Amino acid sequence: MRAVALFVHGVEAVVRLFGWVAAWTCVVLVGLVAGDVLMRYAFSVGAVWLQELQWHLISPIALLACRICC
């Protein structure tokens, strides 16, 4: 029974870690989008690499968040 409890706590720790990573990735993504919008509309300067980075950050958010919710 102790082994099962240790296993469950280990799985819960991993799930918590995934949630933490997904949450902070969302924070970074919001900052990048806000910076991109500010640069495009205030300074008329756009960066393709910044938009690509935003797309790449959406993937781990979706994968980690889906794994946590299901």
- The span from the CA of 21 to the CA of 15, in Å, is 10
Convert the pLDDT of each residue in 3-61 to its tens digit.
999 999 999 999 888 888 888 888 999 999 999 999 999 998 888 888 888 888 888 77
Domain that holds residue 59: 2-69
Radius of gyration of the chain (CA): 18
Which pLDDT does position 25 carry in this prediction? 87
Task: Collect all residues with Cβ–Cβ distance below 8 Å to 47 and sequence separation of at least 6.
Answer: 36, 39
Nearest alpha carbon to residue 66 among 25, 32, 22: 22
Domain count, the chain: 1
Band the pLDDT of 69: cuts 50, 70, 90. low
CA–CA separation, 1 and 12 (whole Å) = 17
Report yes or no: 46 and 36 within 8 Å, Cβ to Cβ.
Answer: yes
